[in-house]
Amino acid sequence: MLKKFLVLLALIVPMMANAAEKKKKEEPVVHLTDEQIYDELKKFAMVFEAARENFVEEADEKKMLEAAMNGMLGALDPHSSYLAADEFKEFSEKSHGEFGGLGIQITSDRGAVRVISPIDDTPAEKAGIKAGDYITHIDDEQVFDLTLNQAVKKMKGRPGTKVKLTIVSDNGEPRTITLKRAIIKVKSVKFEEKKLADAADDTDEKIGYIRISDFGATTAKELREAIASLEKAKVIGYVLDVRNNPGGYLTAAIEVSDAFLDDGEIVSTRGKKKTDIDRVFAKPGDLTGGKPIVVLINHGSASASEIVAGALQDNHRALVMGSQSFGKGSVQQQKPLGDGTAIHITIARYYTPSGRSIQNEGITPDVEVLHSKVEVLEKRESMYSEASFKNSLKNDKSKKKDTKKSKSDEEEDVSELTDAEKDARDYQLQRAMDMVRAMSKLNISSSAKANVSGDDADKSDQGEAEKENDDKASEKTPAKPAAKSSSKPAGKAPAKKK
């Protein structure tokens, strides 16, 4: 009971601090003169000297200065930070597809560490850590006194070693889990042909399923290979699954969006000055030939995932299904300082083609389909039947019934399920494939500029039944040379990043 109280207290205190911070942010920005800035820097030097000379133990000057720089950048927003040499090196390795740790994307929230998303097939994902979970302790040490980079560093370590995390989920109950660190190899794109769970065995209606778990340096190349393979299989449409995708490179999000578009704006980034506007447009060549697309998003879809979902949604190229996305609409850039260190700083906001800012709002799906499960609402046998009558005739041919509980009567171990069984239980995926099939039957494609609302979606499903979607986004020059950009004044673009 005491442990639960301490955890809840630890969560409440940062919330109060956050409320005070919000109130402070509403105050006008204070600009200092050069002379005032110089006076403040002199005061900083005096504080540093006084602390170093008077602290009861020997002071670590490097640690003090790094903490000061981290605090300065952290005061700007949750995504800006100072990267020491080892942190900058780890960040670069992580962005290129392989790193050591638990496989989890996190952010700072009210003094705690909040999970944006676990990465597919990693220790964090296998341990059941979910988007939205809070990490309150690492190896029994509270995280509230740690910077985000310090928390990340504590979770990393030699592969095979263990780390203990205390997690608080939506139900408010803390739980402690022990994870084994591993080398995290990120293959960001997985794909396969799928059929609906209730589809006939002899049906030739194959749906191309593409799962993007992360937007890295090789994502666009992997996506093109996936589409080429699925096109050869003659799929009728696509489900693009970016659920629990925390984002990645801005350039990767642009190239992924471009793969499904013939023209139109993909994204615009807008910086501090009114003239700091960069618009990116798609080049001709939809690799799927205009086939119907459903993008699956949820509250773990962030940054680059939201760029893709927003681009395809605003260009009426795809239907977005699932739940409201995370709402990270800012772009970060690493600025090296020349000695192996760097700062990771927010330099711009990004906007969807229609001029929407996703910051703190997220992408609203065209059709909301919450994560659900199908439940059996009637028992295998009813208590009221012919057999329930006292004097009913017996069946002389009947076999003795097995009184053991079937798997439908008790909780199953999901890890023992086949891929097909897991697909059948994925309610959002099944509804997305339903929609792709309906859109294919109705010949809804990019050329039709379909904009299916929730009501229209219901009608499509009914008609079918009657017939038978840096933190770490990095601003780099887009890899596609044919993509056009300009610096025209901001405004709504014609309808056509983590």
Partners of 343 in the β-ladder: 82, 335
Confirm whether 130 is a catalytic residue. no
Amino acid at 479: A
- Give one DSSP letter per residue of 59-91, joined into a string: --HHHHHHHHHHHHHHTT-TT-EEE-HHHHHHH
C-alpha to C-alpha distances, 165 to 14, 114, 134, 171, 179, nearest whole angstrom: 19, 12, 10, 17, 8
From the list 314, 366, 423, 471, the catalytic residue is 314
Number of neighbours of residue 425 by Cβ within 10 angstroms = 16
Residue 215's nearest CA partner among 189, 182, 184, 177 is 189
Give the tokens for residue 361.
Answer: 């709002």
Q: What is the DSSP letter of 409?
A: T
Q: What is the DSSP letter of 202?
A: T
Residue 361's nearest CA partner among 370, 352, 348 is 352
Amino acid at 12: I
Residue 350's nearest CA partner among 231, 270, 281, 430 is 270
At residue 250, φ and ψ (nearest 5 deg) are -60, -40
Confirm whether 339 is a catalytic residue. no
From the list 94, 291, 328, 497, the catalytic residue is 328
Number of neighbours of residue 78 by Cβ within 10 angstroms = 16
Rounded Cα gap, residues 199 and 204, in angstroms: 10
From the list 303, 305, 446, 474, the catalytic residue is 303
Residue 122's nearest CA partner among 212, 166, 184 is 184
Map tokens 């600009």 to a residue. Answer: 31
Residue 211's nearest CA partner among 429, 374, 480, 422 is 429
Whether the CB-CB separation of 318 and 363 falls below 8 Å is answered with no
Whether the CB-CB separation of 315 and 293 falls below 8 Å is answered with no
C-alpha to C-alpha distances, 133 to 57, 93, 105, nearest whole angstrom: 37, 26, 11
Whether the CB-CB separation of 158 and 192 falls below 8 Å is answered with no
Partners of 180 in the β-ladder: 162
Instruction: Tell me the pairing of strands 277-281 and 265-270.
Output: antiparallel
Q: Where are the alpha helices (DSSP H) in 96-146?
A: 123-126
Helices (runs of H) and strands (runs of E) counted in the chain: 12, 19
Confirm whether 286 is a catalytic residue. no
Q: Under DSSP, is residue 100 helix (H, G, I), strand (E, B) or coil?
A: strand
Rounded Cα gap, residues 395 and 47, in angstroms: 92
Positions annotated as catalytic residues are: 303, 314, 328
